[in-house]
Structure 1
Amino acid sequence: MYAEERQQAMAQLIGQEGRLSVAHLAGTFEVTTETVRRDLSSLERIGLVRRVHGGAVPSSSLSVIESALGERDQSNISAKDAIAAAALGQLPPPASVVVIDAGSTTVRLAAVLPREHRLSVVTHAVPIAARLAGLPHIDLHLLPGRVRPTTHAAVGTDTVAALAELRADVAFVATNGLSAEFGLTTPDRDEAATKRAIVACARRTVVLADSSKIGVETPVRFAALRDIDVLVTDSGISESDRTSLEKAGLEVVVA
């Protein structure tokens, strides 16, 4: 089989199967993994596939365009509400410091924080700050930075610098994608830098992600699974995904 024929067949197979590893493709086409990687690079250049960690997916399945916050807030509403309620079980004792990351699920967590539980809350998310401002049981701290219109979250060097000076008890983090192979990802580099700093400043990190995010990889990684303590998700998670995440050392809480 000529290289062009192999690459065409490879692109068709990836389109049919959704995601295939380099090792699987090497076995299927009886070539070395180095040859597969070269083929995938060629296919990515012409837009037929998109490389991901350890393999490739169809170009249509991995969008680098972020949904606006309002659009994301209307998807998987019941699952996100259940996740927020279950995440209350991960709150540290009263008078602790928590960081709440920007996201459509984390904003729901902010809305259900119990009034009898006093907390210092640090956030870079304008919608979360708006929900918590003025509440007597919340000592609210809003991080500096440039506010992105897509996520309504402060990002940039000032945000990261402020987080570097902080020591939090628990960070509640949102993500665009989570996979056992590549960890936690988001499309924007500034957003990733802020999330990375949030994870780094906390003694314990809890990820809130509905099951549609599991197995998804977006372009910029901000944390490996070893950096995360708990995933709170919904009952749509598959048994195989749950098993692989738990084998990687992650505690999985199903709402």
Structure 2
Amino acid sequence: MYAEERQQAIAQLVGERGRLSVAAIAEQFGVTTETVRRDLSALERMGLVRRVHGGAVPASSLAVIESGLGERDQANTAEKELIAKAAIDELPPVGGTVLIDAGSTTIRFASLLPRDHRLTVVTHAVPIAARLAGLPHLDLHLLPGRVRTTTQAAVGADTVEALERLRVDVAFLGTNGITVDHGLSTPDHDEAAAKRAMVGAARRVVCLSDSSKVGTETAIRFARLVEIDALVTDAGITAADRAGLEDAGLEVVIA
């Protein structure tokens, strides 16, 4: 089957079933997941499908359904634990300042902050602030804003304005998708604005993302790859995806 024929068949199947995962498409057509991601990117550019986390939905879908924090916390848990542990090596020296984004992996990272490493921690994530509040070795700052139900993170004009006044040593960010062409992305405009402001506030930006999000594009880009210093991910990333990201200048750390 030629690539064009396969892509047409994929688009038809997605339309019939409403949603298909990358793994299911790969099995259906006997190709690699890397090939499927390329096919989905091509189909999305043609306006035939819309890529979502881990797969695709018909282009006619009115909105991408964003997974809630609880649902995301149950996915790829082993990989997220490894990523969180590896990201500890990215901390600045004692006395430094870090910014921690909302997300299931960044929550794990925050929980692992060493007790003998004094830091100033800034976050807009209510669950992270709740876990770190009262720890004597941390100077904790919670950003203002409207708290989204989905991510339990503060967003909006007040959040962005507060971030624009900040300068931190390292920002630890989550993402819903990361590709060479589209960069780092998320489905929500307000969430993207907050993440974009975090990138601008940091001297060094480290993304914590499991490999299932590599090759996925969601609606709103909040950073280009050149704005990110490192990606901490798991061993499930394909050799081709890793090479593409590294060729674009991103340091890829495998947990």
2:199 and 2:230 map into 1 onto residues whose CA distance is 12
2:41 and 2:232 map into 1 onto residues whose CA distance is 31
2:112 and 2:37 map into 1 onto residues whose CA distance is 38
Q: Give the gaps of 5 or more residues in structure 1.
A: 1-6, 26-35
1:23 and 1:197 map into 2 onto residues whose CA distance is 27
**Partner residue, 2:242:** 242
* Cα drift, residue 177 of structure 1: 0.4
2:84 and 2:241 map into 1 onto residues whose CA distance is 21
1:17-166 matches, within 5 Å, as 18-20=36-38, 40=46, 44=47, 48-50=48-50, 59=58, 64-166=64-166
SS, match of residue 75 in structure 1: coil
Q: 1:141 to 1:243 in 2, by over 3 A?
A: same
**Partner residue, 2:23:** none
Deviation track 1:196-240 (CA, whole Å, cap 9, x = no partner) reads: 000010000000000011000010000000000000000101111
2:41 and 2:153 map into 1 onto residues whose CA distance is 39
Identity %: 61
Q: 1:51 to 1:108 in 2, by over 3 A?
A: closer
Q: Is the 8 A contact 2:228 2:250 kept in 1?
A: yes
Q: In structure 1, which of residues 12, 19, 22 is the aligned counterpart of residue 9 of structure 2?
A: 12
TM-score where L is the length of structure 2? 0.82
Deviation track 1:30-55 (CA, whole Å, cap 9, x = no partner) reads: xxxxxx97xx3xxx4xxx52389xxx
* Cα drift, residue 180 of structure 1: 1.2
Q: Which letter maps to 2:91?
A: L
1:24 and 1:67 map into 2 onto residues whose CA distance is 24
Q: Is the 8 A contact 1:18 1:58 kept in 2?
A: no
Deviation track 1:147-181 (CA, whole Å, cap 9, x = no partner) reads: 00000000000000000000000000000001111
**Partner residue, 1:190:** 190
Q: Which letter maps to 2:112?
A: V
Q: Which letter maps to 1:174?
A: G
Q: Which has the larger radius of gyration?
A: 1
* Cα drift, residue 64 of structure 1: 1.2
SS, match of residue 104 in structure 2: coil
2:140 and 2:58 map into 1 onto residues whose CA distance is 42
**Partner residue, 1:203:** 203
Q: Is the 8 A contact 2:7 2:39 kept in 1?
A: no
Aligned-pair Cα RMSD in Å = 2.7
Q: Is the 8 A contact 1:11 1:49 kept in 2?
A: no
Q: Give the gaps of 5 or more residues in structure 2.
A: 14-28, 30-34
1:159 and 1:72 map into 2 onto residues whose CA distance is 23
Q: 1:139 to 1:235 in 2, by over 3 A?
A: same
2:117 and 2:213 map into 1 onto residues whose CA distance is 30
* Cα drift, residue 113 of structure 1: 0.2
1:250 and 1:10 map into 2 onto residues whose CA distance is 30
Q: Which moved more, 1:9-18 or 1:66-75?
A: 9-18
Q: Which letter maps to 2:80?
A: K
Q: Is the 8 A contact 2:51 2:217 kept in 1?
A: no
Q: Which letter maps to 1:200?
A: G
Q: 1:152 to 1:249 in 2, by over 3 A?
A: same
